[in-house]
Amino acid sequence: MEASKLAEFLGTIARTGSICPLNTKHWKHLSKYVLENILRIVHENFDLQGKVEDSEILSHV
């Protein structure tokens, strides 16, 4: 159940231009500031410590 909530949340982040620039096709092209902000938001909303790597989270944004 938490996995589907996380997936939905990541989709919301990806569609929110003030968090994630909509003109970027791949997360590796985002600035360090944007990446850190996305991870901070995700970790504030989900207890993922030791469960999911940050790169795995970002690959779904």
pLDDT value at residue 49: 82
4-61 per-position pLDDT tens digit:
899 999 999 988 989 988 888 888 888 999 999 999 999 999 998 888 899 988 888 8
Three-class DSSP category at 61: coil
DSSP string, 12-56: HHHT-TTTS-TT-SSGGGS-HHHHHHHHHHHHHHS--TTTS-HHH
Report how far residue 53's alpha carbon sits from residue 18's, in angstroms, rounded to the nearest whole number. 24
Number of residues that make up the chain: 61
pLDDT value at residue 2: 81
pLDDT at 1 over 60: no
Task: Tell me which of 2 and 48 has the higher pLDDT.
Answer: 48
Q: How far, in whole angstroms, is CA 24 from its chain's centroid?
A: 14
